[in-house]
Structure 1
């Protein structure tokens, strides 16, 4: 089968299409024909070998966010079903799996980082990592659920986000930011978007601000900041008394300086959040179907044009960048 491989010394200049063996399914695994794949910061960092998790094997097939069609059958997934991949390996036996936190599995990891990913024609994965895409959900929209959507939903759940609260979302036109905006509005929150893209208002934001134009008196119950870097320290200025800030990304940098006095005198909470559970992903799929949620797509590239896709990612203006595998 065809697969996109990145090789040492990594980077966009060292990716290319290669012929690799078809996957051989192990016990309880399903073979999936990959149709679409998302492009997220985690995938870009894999290509550049800059993940915080480490990377193997080498050469490496990136791709953590996958939708496709089952080519074999299992107990619940049948051949021909449209499916989404839950992007975390988990054994179901460690203390975190037993506690309902399979995304923290001691013996697991992120699909496409600690194992080869889905920028290829076929994958073989345990059936427990696959969820059906129901009728009424577009497969192009569905592919944004496993990383962008699940991460945002889990962050809202972890912070107990609720109706009537003010939510400030940094990077609101990005993958996770847009989902946080949509889901925050659905929960009855008043959503303020930090972005230069006015179209985000169509997805639930009441106001849109560039990061340097946020009103000084805007204080939120919850700030979601997936960017890190200097914008993280800046965003603390907009957390209200007793409020929370959720962090799950460092695309702008992992090291920041913060005013600890502000955190303890105002009783602010900094909450780290990552991934999400299979149950949360299933719930989000159901919500997408129930609410007929559609997502904007800016451009779709073939996997043989990953370099161009990454270039377009930083300059996108109207939604997601997707990869069409076949």
Structure 2
């Protein structure tokens, strides 16, 4: 093309190319009938109709039309009525309906309405937290009611025990998988409030205890009977909202009858602490009569349970505590030797107590330096069972002691429903006794959490309602 002709073409269209935020009129050609004869003559030929006939006024002014003209036409445009579709179809978002209405069902209260609520929604009172931190982050107020699905049960909580996992969830070291807000509480007893469809063997008002572990029942580990290592394993109060509330929901298969001989508060001390200690000593360590056991943190729920279970199995017990006022407490449970680890080396104490032999089993749930030193306290062919990490998730091991003395380092996190039934029988018969330090009302959950964080408890701390 000659240079002069090309220059005339540039002057006709304008030498400046459209900027990124502008629309190029050449890319939006419209029929000549809409542009007028003068524009058609300038093009020199009829432009084919590339766009469908317009349906009403455009939402935005076309790029080739002056803005003032477009605004004037928009001002003269009559208001259109909201379009309505068939009743079986969802309306268009611009039909005048409140856009938040579609989210109301998902965010609103669940379950049936209860009396005494002015807004008609079903809510309960719960102690929950919306952000991570200390006990001051615990709030007490309204919370959505749990609605039972098929095969689920809603339990009215009568007692719920506090556990260290609650503190990990609260401070963020173990963030709740479902996000915030969250309701803690793994160990629950109460009465059946509502039964979901297809639930059999339970009745409304029946006294029950909730097994806190959830499993899929279909993975390879569940089929082998090892449900505690299920690939989708979870805890009540950790992976789902728990018992710091008036009501809690659980699968019907996790809800067991609570014997009449066991009170609600005593029963709430069993599902996690007692069950974990039982599984650690009986199933994992395979404790035998005459063996020696070192129990760390005897003042905790797990520690106080482990002393009793070890004594029930015929073993001898040495225990550690963090305060002098807990020494007699541990001895009353059956410990022969109690060490205040703040003033005395428990490794040397264990060696002296066993005539330099070392203990056969260590129950450890502290982590860090306590885990490392616990290995030194073991005898040859000894077993260390770790069931928690109260201080830190990390710990060092001197591997020379592990392979040199053929030690076993075993982990466990709960037990089975069958083992929980065995524990219930033992408590009902009086051979095992849950240790309860004190109870707080649900409305004072913040004080209960602070009491546990300060390590003042000797045994279990409960919330009751």
> 1:32 maps to which residue?
155
Instruction: Please point out which of 166, 173, 178 is paired with 1:43.
Output: 166
Relative to structure 1, is the Cα distance of residues 6 and 97 closer, same or farther in structure 2, using a 3 angstrom cutoff?
same
CA displacement 1:101-123 (0-9 Å, x = unmatched) = 22222223111111211211111
1:267-286 → structure 2 map (5 Å cutoff): 267-286=406-425
The question of 1:297 aligning with 2:436 is answered yes
**Preserved contact between residue 309 and residue 432 of structure 2 (Cα < 8 Å):** no
Give the number of the structure whose alpha-carbon radius of gyration is greater.
2
What's the secondary structure of 1:294's corresponding residue? coil
Distance, in Å, in 1 between the alignment partners of 2:233 and 2:367 is 25
CA contact (8 A) 1:30 1:127 kept: yes
Alpha-carbon spacing, 1:317–1:20, altered in 2? closer, same or farther (3 Å): closer
Equivalent residue, structure 2, for 1:320: 460
The alpha carbon displacement at 1:317 in A equals: 4.8
- Whole-Å separation in 1 of the counterparts to 2:223 and 2:425: 24
Q: 3-state DSSP class of the match of 2:336?
A: strand
Q: Deviations over 1:140-161 (max 9, x none)?
A: 1110111101110110111111
Provide runs of 4+ in structure 1 moved above 4 Å: none
1:189 and 1:263 map into 2 onto residues whose CA distance is 23
Name which structure has the greater RCO, CA cutoff 8 Å, separation 6+.
1
The one of 230, 233, 242 equivalent to 2:372 is 233
Question: Match of 2:315?
Answer: 189
Distance 2:176 2:459 in 1: 29
Q: CA RMSD in A?
A: 1.7
Aligned to 2:256: 131
Give the match for residue 141 of structure 1.
266
Kept after mapping to 1: 8 A contact 2:289/2:315: yes
**Structure 2: how far apart are the matches of 1:294 and 1:88?**
22
Q: Deviations over 1:168-225 (max 9, x none)?
A: 1001121111111101100000111112422222222122112234324341110111
User: SS of the residue aligned with 1:177?
Assistant: helix
Deviation at 1:293, TM superposition (A): 3.1
Counterparts of 1:235 and 1:48, CA distance in 2: 27
User: Helix, strand or coil for the counterpart of 1:221?
Assistant: strand
Call closer, same or farther: CA 1:9–1:241 in 2, change over 3 Å: closer
Contact kept? 2:269, 2:436, Cα under 8 Å:
no
In 2: Cα distance, 1:109 partner to 1:297 partner: 26
Aligned counterpart in structure 1 of residue 336 of structure 2, from 191, 206, 217:
206
**Deviation string, structure 1 residues 217-268 (Cα, Å, up to 9, x no partner):** 3411101111111111111121011101000111111212221111111111
Q: Which residue of 2 aligns with 1:255?
A: 394
Distance apart, 1:9 and its partner CA: 4.0
Counting matched residue pairs gives 324
Check whether the contact 2:300–2:458 (CA below 8 A) recurs between aligned residues. Answer: no
Work out whether residues 57 and 116 of structure 1, in 8 Å CA contact, stay in contact via their aligned partners in 2.
no
1:165: Cα distance to partner?
0.6
Give 1:161's aligned residue. Answer: 287
Structural mapping, 1:3-82, within 5 Å: 3-51=126-174, 54-72=176-194, 74-82=199-207
**Structure 2 unmatched ranges of 5 or more:** 1-123
Structure (1/2) with the larger strand percentage: 1
